[in-house]
Structure 1
Amino acid sequence: MIDPLYLFVLFGLFTPGPNVILLTASGARFGFRPTLPHVIGVAVGVGITAGLTALGIGALLLAIPVLKLVLQIVAVAWILWMAWKLLRSASGPQADGRDRPFTFVEAVLFQWVNPKIWIIALAASSGFASDLPAHLEALRIGSAFSGINLFVCLFWTFAGTLLAYLLTTPLAWRIFTTVMAVALAASGLMVFAA
């Protein structure tokens, strides 16, 4: 029988959020292979964040409201900045030599301010806890998040790569980047709804 944690994590991570939007856009704009460091960084960063949440960092955030507020403000600022950057991006794949996909480190660090990951990790830690010692529970939850999210990230990056075949004009690219930027900004503003 499948552990319900895995189904919860799959559903939570597969649905659109900042990572899905950024990876789809990156796959479309830069291609599958150049986006792989971003993919791997997300999978690693999500696992670390989820594992630390299971160890109690999530409870600490809930217990210290000012710490939660600071994290929310940083998250919104970073997500809105990325949305602005995406909106202002070139009207085609790699048209601007300064434009590039996330690096591995940037993707790992982004998970620390990704509100969707914190929400899912908090829910998984509290709703699907086992009787394991704390360090093994953190490893269980962190590895579930990393492993499942790797496949989710690969799926959305590949979907973005396929989507690029439909984006054959500058107008199509502009519409695509605008829609993705607006969706990313909206996901950032949802931080305060949590």
Structure 2
Amino acid sequence: MNFDPLYAFVFFGLFSPGPNVILLTTSGARFGFKRTLPHVLGVAAGVGITSALTGFGVGALLLAQPALTFTLKCLAAGWILWMAWKLFRSTRGPQAEGRDRPFTFVEAVLFQWVNPKIWVVAMAASSGYAIGLSPAADAVRLGTAFSGINLFVCLFWTFAGSLLAVLMTRPAWWRGFMTVMALALASSAVMIFI
């Protein structure tokens, strides 16, 4: 049995910092590992769905419609900047305010529709690692690879965030961490247009 290079590409594409990594690490730090699990599962499912759609040619459709692509970029940038603002405002400490909560499963799935990094990695995988399957088989291959690998990536970053919360015992450290994460998330919104 040969190793499919798609798996290495997906792992490195999803493990590197992007909106999901930043949000999951921060959520793990703010809310803990267990409370962030619906967010983790939603990201894994949403990434699988989004990447499967590229196997059916949705990515190519987006590239062929510049106005639609620009609209999606604006929506993505707006949503990401709003989330960065919320992170920036939550610098009081790991104990979140009563109205704060982690993403739900559905919110995490829906976020993948406007997560530019997922679309870019999925479209690159769809075009660069095609092996001549039918569109349905290719969609299943991409969806399961992305979803399965991303589940472990998400668990890693969420656990890392929960460990960081234990280490950040001083309010100044917590504020610094949240500020860095908010700025990193905001910069990913700017990268959408580059």
Q: What's the CA shift string for 1:75-109, capped at 9, x where partnerless?
A: 00000000000000141123310111000000000
Tell me, in whole angstroms, the C-alpha distance in 1 between the residues paired with 2:95 and 2:102.
Answer: 10
The residue correspondences of 1:107-118 to structure 2 (distance < 5 A) are 107-118=108-119
SS across alignment from 1:91: coil
2:162 corresponds in structure 1 to: 161
Please say if residues 24 and 156 of structure 1, whose CA atoms lie closer than 8 Å, have aligned partners that are also in contact.
yes
Match of 2:63, SS state, is helix
- Which runs of 5 or more residues in structure 1 are unaligned? none
The share of aligned pairs that are identical, in percent, is 70
> Which deviates further from its counterpart, 114-123 or 89-98?
89-98
1:29 corresponds in structure 2 to 30
- Between 59-68 and 92-101, the greater mean CA deviation after superposition: 92-101
The match for 1:174 is: 175
Q: Which residue of 2 aligns with 1:40?
A: 41
Q: Indicate conservation of the 8 Å contact 1:91/1:171, yes or no.
A: no
State the 4+ residue runs in structure 1 displaced beyond 3 angstroms. none
Task: For 2:16 and 2:69, locate their aligned partners in 1 and report how far apart those are by CA, in whole Å.
Answer: 24
Instruction: Report the Cα offset of residue 165 of structure 1.
Output: 1.2
* Aligned 8 A contact 1:46 1:145 in 2: yes
d(CA) in 2 for partners of 1:95, 1:178: 15
Q: Deviations over 1:18-71 (max 9, x none)?
A: 000000000011100000000000000000000001111100000000000000
- Give the letter aligned to residue 47 of structure 1: G
Aligned to 2:89: 88
TM-score, normalised to structure 1, is 0.98
Q: Give the structure 2 partner of residue 141 of structure 1.
A: 142
Q: Given residue 93 of structure 1, which amino acid in structure 2 is its aligned partner? A: P
Cα separation, 1, equivalents of 2:55 and 2:118: 12
Query: 1:54 aligns to what?
Result: 55
Correspondence for 1:67: 68
Root mean square deviation of aligned Cα: 0.8
Q: Which amino acid aligns with 2:119?
A: W
Given that 2:30 and 2:96 are in contact with CA atoms closer than 8 Å, whether structure 1 keeps it comes out as no
1:18 maps to which residue?
Answer: 19
Aligned residue identity for 1:115: P
Residue 188 of structure 1 is matched in structure 2 by 189
Distance 1:91 1:180 in 2: 14
- Give the secondary structure class of the aligned counterpart of 1:161: helix
Gaps of 5+ in 2: none
The residue type paired with residue 74 of structure 1 is L
Answer with 83-92 or 68-77: which moved more.
83-92
Return the offset for 1:121.
Answer: 0.4
Aligned residues: 193
